[in-house]
Amino acid sequence: MNKSPSLRSVKLIYNYDYSNISTYTSISSNIKSLELLISDSPNKISVYSILPILRVCHRIRYLHAIIKHEISSQNNNFNVLFEEPFINENDLPISPQVTSFDLSIFAQCDIRSIACILRCMPNLIHFKFLHGIREVSLSFLNDLVNGYTWQHMFEIHVPLLSKFDFHMLIENKYRKLNLDMVVNSFQYFVKIYPKWHMIIDRWTPDNTSILNSVQSNDNDDSQQYVTSLSQQRVTSLSHIVHLPNVNQINFEPWINVGQGKDIQFILQACPNVFDLQITPTNLVSSKFIDNRSLFSIFKQIKILNAVAEDHCVAPSFLSKLVQRFPSLTDIELHVLSFDDFICVIDILLSHLKHLSYLKIYYINISSFDHPFSRSYIIDKRRQAFGFNIIDEHKITVSKNEESVEIRLS
């Protein structure tokens, strides 16, 4: 790499080799922003692989490091053993210039290695941590999900830290791990950081345990078990988030309404929600749309987004949709074709009095001519709700090969 006096930011992607790092001393005086993807086998790299970089790049302010273990198919097991390198903690590289550190780990690591890296950044202000490997040994897991351990580490090594974001994708296979204790241990961060919340997206139980439970009990008992599990998740969530203050909810595509009652209990626990994002599959599910306990919540939803690339809403469903969600002002849907779009738009314009914005995605373009136009929209609204329902000068329509966007006010 040639030296450049104007170089300030570098992105490096390579299989890790300590000897390569030593050759980068020529750029160390310039680099202030560095993004690294360090990837190799577990016996060659670890979180400690960041240390040589800090040793040669003294002026880094913003560091994003991704550590990824490449495990061969012959050893495709998260319990692969590897030896950690010897680290002389009395000779760590200190990087006082680093104020922002984004660490993404797709490898086995423990809290000690993270603490070692943070110890090198005494003036750190923003720390973002992603743990992306789901299967973690219990010895590592106990510390990673212990808020008291994180608190102690931050107070000692990064006392200036003012922003801490973390996301850990961990599969819970250990009965000894108490979810309530995990949540409660992070109360310190809720109190010290404004608007800081801990959110558990999904706590996945041991699939084997669920299977055995279903096989040994009748259907009512298994349903009771699933209900109890969903209620526990919401209870744990309510310990660190004041759910009545939640206005917007986004149910990610991997959350399947047919696999549990998570969606039901979360919506019931958030009585003031008005902005809902949900997949078309979950939206049209009878367990969701025909759930009487959710009818009152449906009526207060004003913004609905049900868009997914691989699923569409059928026009036949729209009559039920406008009946369940009469207060909608903004809506985004995904339908199969432009022909379906015409059917959908007719129902939405004729039944949702408060509608002000809609965007409909479609896959197939129709070969037939449709009487769809700005005048068509105005006529539909006035036929359903009277002449004064709409100001024709405020209407805008945008159409391309995959969607139509309409603003009514």
Q: Of the candidates 190, 184, 102, 105, which has an alpha carbon nearest to the alpha carbon of residue 145?
A: 184
Share of the chain above pLDDT 70, in %: 70
Contact present, 163 and 193 (Cβ < 8 Å)? yes
DSSP code string of 346-383: HHHHHH-TT--EEEEE-SBPPSS----SHHHHHHHHHH
pLDDT in tens, 98-153: 999 999 888 878 889 999 999 999 999 999 988 877 666 666 777 888 889 999 99
CA 340, CA 366: separation in Å to the nearest integer? Answer: 9
pLDDT of residue 213: 27
Average pLDDT, the chain: 78
Instruction: Pull the structure tokens for residue 15.
Output: 């299989």
Task: Say whether pLDDT at 322 is over 90.
Answer: yes
How many Cβ atoms sit within 10 Å of the Cβ of residue 305?
18
Q: Are 234 and 269 in contact (CB under 8 A)?
A: yes
Q: Do 131 and 105 contact (CB within 8 A), yes or no?
A: yes
Please check the confidence at residue 186 and state whether its pLDDT lies above 50: yes
Q: What is the DSSP letter of 27?
A: G
Flag the least confident range among 23-27, 166-170, 301-305, 375-379.
23-27
Of the ranges 52-61, 82-91, 342-351, the best mean pLDDT one: 342-351
CB 384 within 8 A of CB 350: yes
Tokens matching residue 170: 């961990």
Of 129-143, 268-282, 379-393, give the lowest mean pLDDT range.
129-143
- State residue 373 phi and psi, 5-degree precision: -160, 175
Mean pLDDT lowest among 27-36, 278-287, 381-390: 27-36
pLDDT grade for 163, boundaries at 50, 70 and 90: confident
Three-state secondary structure readout of 118-167:
HHCCCCCCEEEEEECCCCCCHHHHHHHCCHHHHHHHHHHHCCCCCEEEEE
Distance CA 31, CA 9 (A): 6
Distance CA 262, CA 269 (A): 11
Dihedral of the CA atoms 326, 332, 334, 339 (nearest 10)? 70
Exposure b/e, 135-166, CB count within 10 A at least 16 = b: ebeeebbbbbbbbebbbebbeebbeebeebee
Distance separating alpha carbons of residues 289 and 306, to the nearest angstrom = 13
**The most confident of 104-113, 259-268, 355-364, by mean pLDDT:** 355-364
**Pairing mode of beta strands 163-168, 357-361:** unpaired
| Beta carbons within 8 Å of 220's beta carbon, 6+ residues apart | none
